[in-house]
Amino acid sequence: MSEDDDALRVVNAKRREQMQRSADHYGQFLDQAEDYLHGKRGITVEEGRSYGLGYVPAGEALDGDEQYVGRLVIPYRTRNGVVQLKYRCTGDHDNCKKITLLSTDPDTGKEKWDGHEKYMQPAGVDPSLYNVEAFHADSSVIIVTEGEADAMAVELRTGLPAVGYPGVGLWASRKFRHWRLCFDPYTTVYIIADGDEPGRSSAKRLLKDLQNGIPVYMPDGHDATSYLMEYGTDALLDKLGYGVDYDDIPDDEDDDEDLPDFD
Ligand SMILES: [Zn+2]
C-alpha cells in the first residue's frame, strides 16, 4: 500500500465517523419532521427511526452543517456504520431549484431562479446502494426501487427486503458495475418502475443486467410511495404477485422477437 492509499483510508474513516456522529445527533429530532415524513411519505416517526432517519432543526445544526437546517437526514447504514448521508429538502417545493423567479431577460426570455438542491450530502463520499441491510434478510426475493424513500416505504409495507439505487446513470456506469452482482443470488428481483418515461426506461436498463428481474410498472404519475398511499399495500402486493402486468409494458419491449424460433 502506498502512503497515498493510507492517507485516503484515514480521510475516509474519519468521514464515516463524522457521518455516524451526525446521524446519531440528528436522529434525536426526527419527530420534528413528522409532517413531511407521514404526510408526504406515509412513514411514521417510529418507522423512520428504524431506518435511523433524522432531522436538522434550526439551532441544532452541528458545526459546518448550517446549510442542512430544515432537512431530513437519511443515513446509509451498514453493519459497519454509516457509509453515506443525505439531507433531503422537506419543503413543499415542486422543483427545489426553481423556488423564486428572480428575473426574466426581456430579450431572450431567459429566466433566473433562486432555489436549492433537493438532496445535499457531505463532499467526497461515493454513491452507494441504499438499505444494504436488506441483503441480510432471509428471502429469495428482493425489491429494487429508485431512491431511498420508496425502498423504505415498500419494505415497511410489504415486509419484503427492498434496496434503493441512486439513478440509472450510476447503475449503468462502469464504476458501479458490481452493484448488479448483489442481486444475483435471488430467485426474483422486483424492479419497481416509476409511472413515467424515465422510470420505465430505467427499469428496462436494470432488467438488462438482472436476468432474475421482473418489472413492476406503476401507473402513470405514480411512484411506489404515492401508489401505496393511494391504493394501499394489498394493491402493491397484488402487483408483485402477478409480477408482470403485460398491458403496461411499453411496446418497444420486443427484443425477443428477433430470436429465431426453434422447430
Ligand atoms: Zn426544496
DSSP 23-46: HHHHHTTGGGGHHHHHHHH---HH
* CA 144 to centroid of ligand 1, rounded, Å: 25
Per-residue pLDDT tens digits for 202-259: 999 999 999 999 999 999 999 999 999 999 999 999 898 854 444 544 444 444 444 4
Question: Could you tell me if residue 149 is inside a domain?
Answer: yes
CA distance 166 to 128: 7
* CA 89 to centroid of ligand 1, rounded, Å: 5
* CA 146 to centroid of ligand 1, rounded, Å: 19
Cell of 146: 429508485
CATH code, domain with 192: 3.40.1360.10
Question: Could you tell me if residue 21 is inside a domain?
Answer: yes
Q: Which of 120, 143, 167 is the last residue in one of the domains?
A: 120
Q: b/e for 59-76, b at 16 or more Cβ within 10 A?
A: eebeeebeebebbbbbbb
Question: Could you tell me if residue 223 is inside a domain?
Answer: yes
What is the count of structural domains for the chain? 2
pLDDT of residue 8 exceeding 90, the answer is no
Question: Could you tell me if residue 126 is inside a domain?
Answer: no
165 and 115 fall within a common domain: no
Confidence band for 61, pLDDT divided at 50, 70 and 90: very high
* CA 121 to centroid of ligand 1, rounded, Å: 14
- Domain with 229 in it: 132-256
β-strands 81-89, 111-114 pairing: unpaired
Q: Which of 120, 149, 171 is the last residue in one of the domains?
A: 120
Mean pLDDT of the chain: 90
Cβ atoms of 225 and 149 closer than 8 Å: yes
Per-residue pLDDT tens digits for 122-159: 998 999 999 999 999 999 999 999 999 999 999 999 99
SS3 191: strand
138 and 246 fall within a common domain: yes
CATH code, domain with 99: 3.90.980
Q: Which of 68, 86, 120 is the last residue in one of the domains?
A: 120
* CA 98 to centroid of ligand 1, rounded, Å: 9
pTM (2 d.p.)? 0.86
* CA 115 to centroid of ligand 1, rounded, Å: 7
Our measurement of the distance from residue 193's CA atom to the centroid of its chain's CA atoms, rounded to an integer in Å, reads: 12
* CA 94 to centroid of ligand 1, rounded, Å: 8
* CA 25 to centroid of ligand 1, rounded, Å: 22
Question: Could you tell me if residue 69 is inside a domain?
Answer: yes
* CA 169 to centroid of ligand 1, rounded, Å: 23
